[in-house]
Structure 1
Amino acid sequence: MQTSLFDNTENAFKLKSDSELERAYFLFKMISKEPLVRIGTAATRFALNANLPVEGLIRSTVFDHFCGGVNEEDCMTSVDKLYSANVCSVLDYSVEGKEEEASFDECMNKVIGLVEFADEKDAMPIVVFKPTGVGRFAIWQKLTEGTALTSEEQVEWERIKERMHAICKIAKERDVEVLIDGEESWMQDAADDMVAELMATYNKEKPIVYNTLQCYRHDRLEYLKKLHLEARARDFKIGMKIVRGAYMEKENKRAKEKGYPTPICKDKRATDENFNATMRYIFENLDDISLFLGTHNEDSSLLAVKLMGEMGIAKDDNRVWFGQLYGMSDHISFNLSLEGYNVAKYLPFGPVKDVMPYLIRRAEENTSVAGQTNRELELIKAERKRRKL
């Protein structure tokens, strides 16, 4: 496909100073070498666990490139900077792997605070959280597997539901959209059922609550069509973020170990076709389903632009948003926003040590996605050359 829409590096990197551009070049150069990523992530984990004084180094390199800050206020410089280029921000409290009730309450309060924060800022129309941010993975897994909960777990489950309702209720009151991230397949059915209930409660007039479809799973379009029938029968709107997916290696490994067929598409091409077919289905049913298109893929982004043009969907129609991660694919984000499309950057934040699992996953993902890091490097190189000239 023709990619001229995304070739404008001057616009793509206009918010980056020369030193920030050099830092990006250095980071992607490092990430492009798998052995370096393995050694670097192991060394970082060790240094943080041993309480070595490395936070300043992490902060000035990988953290500041991929994260907005250590708290909401810290993110505001980045939020305002992005909005000056008509790119909105989705603040993402990216603390992962916590298992205590106090952490789940903290996450709920953090997201509710973000909803209230977003309500007063045009630059932040959307918030996001993960199901496991508000409840233990094991509970979601047991429910997905159809295993009975103990009486203590049942009490825990009721609290999880209360947290999710508390977030979505205030989001509805403040008219702020909530994206609920997708996770591993062996806990996702319970999350899907819960989010469908939230949609039935809070999405009567328009989508407030959005679920996430990871399109590297070959069953996701079929699931969306079933949910669409349910939404029509129960008279609610669907909000859906679609992504390719973040847990492929883990999914395939577990399927092999446990001896069940992998839920993942057979190859990259099948995943791309599934993603594009799901996107097309949503565009064809935009009166019922709103779309947050979470992709770093140029072809899918161009296809979306083409379909919107063919179907007469306005570039700034609030039912369609394009989203990319902060620090990645700026050539897609800023060139789409320049054309007048709705664009948002996922802006992760949190204490440096707590956000490291997220950052390590990002580095590993970039290394494993063929061509992605090279594409970033080529664009940065082109912009460095343009600036020198």
Structure 2
Amino acid sequence: MLSQSATRRISTTAVPRPQYLRIQPLSTHNHQQTRSQTTAAIPTPENLWTTPKWNPKSVRPYKDKSTAELLNSYTVFKLCEFPPLVSMTPAIIDIAEKTGTKFIMNYGVKKTFFKHFCGGETISEVLPTMTNFKRRNMGAILDLAMEADMEADTEPTLAKAKETSSHILSLMKESVDIAGETPGSFIAAKVTAYVPPGVLLRWTNTLRLVQERFDAVKHSDGTTNVPELLKSLQTVFPQLTASQLDKLNKVSKLDWISVSDHFTFANKDIRSGLLTTLPASVHQLMHPIQSANDFETLDAVVEDLHLLMKHAADKQVKVMVDAEQTYFQRAIDDVALELCRRFNVNGNVVVFNTYQMYLKDGLHRLQIDLDRANRAGWTFGVKIVRGAYMVSERERATEMNYADPINPTITDTHATYNAAIEHLLANLSKNLEFVVASHNKSSVAKTVAAMEKHGVSPSNKQISFAQLMGMQDGTSFALAENGYRCFKYVPYGPIDVTIPYLLRRAQENSSVLGGVGEDKQELVAELGRRMRSEV
């Protein structure tokens, strides 16, 4: 049995590529509605879910499940309503390891939780799941359940880092291949699965220092000049030279967008000037990048991300770059935006960056990056979520004595999330595609109403919705039946890797699991219909 630490490691299990049956693109027959046809059908956000064609009784989200599957899902939801179960699971796994009963635990999990929330262990097992969603006019977001081990080896050699990223690339290409059987589908990708977390941490800290020094000299209009910026930056980056900022002299408006576009890992001319030996106490952060080896590692593994995006573009598959913890996020954004610049061109959108609206700076960063894309002429791909790391983020902020990055209240997060939707809809005329990834029915209803207010058709290809497989199916199927583009997030992978993967998400998203009561009610209603022999 794997140790608890070992279960956090990336799976090295390779699976053979099956011979796939071709699946047609998502149907658009019930999307072809004019605005005049849909106006009367769209109620207000307050009563959307009680109106005909939207309420669970009409939608029947579980009508395609067998009775045995309904009973299994009901059992899973009942267990999800028991909060101590999540906290007890690591101990249960540990006992199974020590007693040699791993196979029994895995069998039980696979027949219950895994069956409800996951698409399968192998790529070939995912295909029927995608086919079932396709029948009800929904797409899939395939998520190979793997990520870097944050505890074991955060400082691998360049050769080891490249070996890991190349292995992941081969697995992710298989994920792209099956997603490509339904053109327009998505896959999810984690930058921490490619780039060593230690490198991301140090590059994030470096970028924080750059912004800190920019903020120290920016004027009231949000701009500065090169001499002032250079002098400020040299207080923490003594090796930085005027020649390395020479291109900024040609920028008419030296604001944060211009500066951050220059201070990116992809700009090799600037990197030697960003190496510093200043102690962390000088800037009250963990150490920034101090060795050129970090940049060499970034270059080597990002090559594999480029190959993944190229493969996805060839297969007409879109890639969602997942958001992660704030202490990695600036570096992840830097990588994601560089991929956007390269692949989201000529009207194509391959790369979507993710923005967490529970962060105090989440909406501002989204707005800045939309402006960045519009200024440079590439298309902005966006996924907006509320967030998934609140507990660990706040614990780390307290431990390291820095400001909590999370919004003070859930009300603030709801307001920020809805404001992000409004901002994106208001800028739909720009080069933009976005995904509303939410289990919050109020936000979904408000998005539907806002689309109507802005005169946006449900079938508009710039807007999609997404929910996790096995969660809020009533919301997902209602969106699909009413002509909106909706996708299900489908985790898959070997059970040994997927169990701890799902557990970590359950621990960070306990509030989501605690909200399965509505799903359970819809299951009971479907069982009741069958007991009464209703069609």
TM-score tier after normalising by the smaller chain length: over 0.9
What amino acid does structure 1 have at the position aligned with 2:466? G
Instruction: Give the secondary structure class of the aligned counterpart of 2:383.
Output: strand
Matched, 1:89 2:159: no
Q: Distance in 2 between matches of 1:371 and 1:358?
A: 18
Matched, 1:112 2:161: no
Using the TM superposition, name which of 231-240 and 108-117 deviates more: 108-117
Shift of the alpha carbon at 1:366? 5.1
**In the alignment, which residue of structure 2 is the partner of 1:242?**
384
Shift of the alpha carbon at 1:352? 0.2
Please list the CA deviations of residues 123-167 of structure 1 after superposition, one character each: whole Å capped at 9, or x if unmatched.
Answer: x62121111121211111110011124344332211222122111
Matched, 1:308 2:451: yes
Q: 1:112·1:167 contact (CA, 8 Å) conserved in 2?
A: yes
Q: 2:467·2:487 contact (CA, 8 Å) conserved in 1?
A: yes
- Describe how 1:1-389 pairs up with structure 2 within 5 A: 1-2=46-47, 3-4=49-50, 5-8=54-57, 11-48=60-97, 52-53=102-103, 54-98=105-149, 101=161, 102-122=163-183, 125-146=185-206, 147-206=288-347, 207-286=349-428, 287-365=430-508, 367-369=510-512, 372-389=515-532
Q: Structure 1 unaligned segments of length 5 or more: list them.
A: none
Instruction: Give the secondary structure class of the aligned counterpart of 1:135.
Output: coil
Report the RMSD for the aligned CA atoms in angstroms: 2.0
Q: Distance in 2 between matches of 1:43 and 1:193?
A: 39
Q: Distance in 2 between matches of 1:55 and 1:384?
A: 28
Q: 2:59·2:477 contact (CA, 8 Å) conserved in 1?
A: no
Shift of the alpha carbon at 1:42? 2.4
Identity, % of aligned positions: 29
Shift of the alpha carbon at 1:370? 8.1
Query: Which has more helix, going by share of residues?
Result: 1
Q: Distance in 2 between matches of 1:166 and 1:24?
A: 39
Using the TM superposition, name which of 168-177 and 70-79 deviates more: 168-177
Shift of the alpha carbon at 1:57? 1.4
Please list the CA deviations of residues 309-336 of structure 1 after superposition, one character each: whole Å capped at 9, or x if unmatched.
Answer: 1212121111111111111110011111
Using the TM superposition, name which of 239-248 and 129-138 deviates more: 129-138
Instruction: Give the secondary structure class of the aligned counterpart of 2:516.
Output: helix
Shift of the alpha carbon at 1:174? 3.1
Larger of the two Rg values belongs to structure: 2
Q: 2:140·2:186 contact (CA, 8 Å) conserved in 1?
A: yes
Do the aligned partners of residues 199 and 175 (structure 1) sit closer, same or farther apart at CA in structure 2, a change above 3 Å counting? Answer: same
Shift of the alpha carbon at 1:227? 1.1
Do the aligned partners of residues 135 and 46 (structure 1) sit closer, same or farther apart at CA in structure 2, a change above 3 Å counting? Answer: farther
Aligned length: 388
Q: 2:388·2:509 contact (CA, 8 Å) conserved in 1?
A: no
Please list the CA deviations of residues 160-209 of structure 1 after superposition, one character each: whole Å capped at 9, or x if unmatched.
Answer: 22122111122233332111100000000011111111111111223211
Instruction: Give the secondary structure class of the aligned counterpart of 2:65.
Output: coil
Please list the CA deviations of residues 316-360 of structure 1 after superposition, one character each: whole Å capped at 9, or x if unmatched.
Answer: 111111111111110011111111111111111110011112211
What amino acid does structure 2 have at the position aligned with 1:66? F
Please list the CA deviations of residues 286-309 of structure 1 after superposition, one character each: whole Å capped at 9, or x if unmatched.
Answer: 232211111111001111111111
Shift of the alpha carbon at 1:365? 4.5
Q: 2:390·2:508 contact (CA, 8 Å) conserved in 1?
A: no
Shift of the alpha carbon at 1:49? 7.1
